[in-house]
Amino acid sequence: MRSSTLFQRINLHQRPAPEVALRRPGSRLRQVSGPCVPPSDSVVEFGAYVGGKRVEADGIPEAVGLVRDHNAASELGGAYVWVGLYEPEASEVGWLAEVFGLHPLAVEDAIKAHQRPKVERYGDSLFVVLKTLAYLDDDPRAGSQIIASGEIMIFVGADFVVTVRHGGHSPLADVRKRLEDKPKLLSRGPSGVLHAIADHVVDKYLSVADLMQAELEEVEATVFADVSSRDISRIYQLKREMIEMKRAVTPLQTPFNALPTRRMIPSEMREYFRDVVDHLSRVCEQVESSNELCNSILQAALARSNALANEDMRKISAWVAIISVPTMIAGIYGMNFDRLPGLHDMWGYPVVIGVMLVVCSLLYRGFRRNSWL
């Protein structure tokens, strides 16, 4: 659905004071700076899901009303709304905060982005921040950048999931399609959507970590090759990217370890989240080992560069010593003295040249024997 059409439909179907009709009973109206308007251009996709199937709705208000009417009429409940946003404006997130009763601190974090990965609870909802990673080494537009990072903020409630994505990588369209193709996955509710997104992001971590490991092994091979590159800028760039990966992955370990024990996660979903935690632990171990390997490679490259510089200096010093012998002899005989050995002798010139050649040959042999040349 195009954003302009969506915006028109929202306006046409919006009832007076929709925020009052759509808020949960007893919830307080959340205010943000500026007038709150329904999201339009930032909406990637939205849908209402009832009984593991997607139900069409003309707009977000209609989808929310449909879901809450179904949950109120059914003892089982299980219906929910999933709204996906991409780099929304503050007023758009504020409108959703009024609809779903989102906490203003979480809303502020979702608007500003550049947040630390975390899992926080606000009342009866969860706010999850995930860092996304993408490997760009094969992208000619990336320049020297190897890894691109973004963020996914996820609001999870009893009958809603709101995802706010920052950065052009790791879209969630494939995740939504995979869930919609399998009604059993959709029927798990908002916690099932949270698991699918977290599993998708962690699997991407594994892919990027494997590619970075292969890159490090290739650089390591070039460092210890016979003809080694002395440019360590690539290694330093890899080191910076490994630090970026560590910042994205490591902070998630503690909150994700505690996530399966949270009351909001149904018992049947806890095993699935433990599986994500297991994959995340593997990623953290791999990132840590790759970071240590990168440190070793950087130190080895610096030592190798110093060794090559010393080797060059020894070669230069050896040749200077060899050349200094004929230079010294020629300088002595070039002085304006009349009494020098062999100066007036017919064999004086060949003897001096021979002495130069013999001494230079002996020096060359000695330097070669000591591996200076």
Tens of pLDDT, residue by residue over 121-165, are 888 889 999 999 988 866 555 556 788 889 999 999 989 999 999
As a whole number of angstroms, the distance between CA 356 and CA 362 comes to: 10
Among 189, 178, 199, residue whose Cα is nearest residue 276: 199
Asked whether the whole model's pTM tops 0.85, one would answer no
Residue spans per domain, the chain: 43-303, 307-370
As a whole number of angstroms, the distance between CA 346 and CA 19 comes to: 116
Mean local confidence (pLDDT), 112-116: 82
Among 136, 155, 171, residue whose Cα is nearest residue 244: 136
Tens of pLDDT, residue by residue over 309-347, are 888 888 888 999 989 988 888 888 777 777 777 777 778
Mean local confidence (pLDDT), 42-71: 87
Q: How far is CA 233 from the centre of its chain?
A: 19
Q: Which residue is associated with the tokens 């849908």?
A: 47
Mean local confidence (pLDDT), 1-22: 35
pLDDT of residue 226: 61
pLDDT of residue 28: 36
Which residues, in sequence order, are bridge partners of residue 127? 120, 155
**Range 307-370 has CATH code 1.10.1040.10:** no
Mean local confidence (pLDDT), 205-224: 87
pLDDT of residue 231: 65
Q: Tell me whether strands 160-166 and 80-86 are parallel, antiparallel or unpaired.
A: parallel
Measured from the Cβ of residue 269, the count of other Cβ atoms closer than 10 Å reads 18
Tens of pLDDT, residue by residue over 241-297, are 888 888 889 998 888 888 888 888 888 888 999 999 999 999 999 999 988 888 888
Mark 159-174 as b/e (b = at least 16 C-beta within 10 Å): bbbbbbbbbeebbbee
As a whole number of angstroms, the distance between CA 373 and CA 309 comes to: 14
pLDDT of residue 303: 83
pLDDT of residue 229: 56
Per-residue pLDDT band for 298 (boundaries 50, 70, 90) equals: confident
Consecutive H or E run containing 296: helix 270-333
Q: How far is CA 206 from the centre of its chain?
A: 11
Two structure tokens written together for 82: 């999933």
pLDDT of residue 30: 38
pLDDT of residue 36: 64
Cα dihedral: 114, 116, 122, 127 (round 10) = 70
Q: What is the mean pLDDT of the chain?
A: 81
Among 95, 152, 157, 85, residue whose Cα is nearest residue 126: 157
pLDDT of residue 143: 58
Choose the CATH number for 43-303 among 3.10.20.740, 2.10.240.10, 3.30.460.20, 3.40.50.620.
3.30.460.20
Q: Are 326 and 360 in contact (CB under 8 A)?
A: yes
Q: Percentage of residues in the chain with pLDDT exceeding 90?
A: 20
Cα 170-286-277 angle, rounded to 5 deg: 65
Q: Tell me whether strands 80-86 and 43-50 are parallel, antiparallel or unpaired.
A: antiparallel
pLDDT of residue 351 exceeding 80, the answer is yes
R_g over Cα of the chain: 35
pLDDT of residue 61: 87
Mean local confidence (pLDDT), 56-82: 85
3-state secondary structure of 78: coil
Largest CA distance in the chain: 126
As a whole number of angstroms, the distance between CA 190 and CA 162 comes to: 10
pLDDT of residue 284: 92
Q: Which residue has the higher pLDDT, 27 or 71?
A: 71
pLDDT of residue 163: 94
Helices 3-13 & 60-73 angle (0-180, nearest 10): 60
Identity of the residue numbered 280:
L
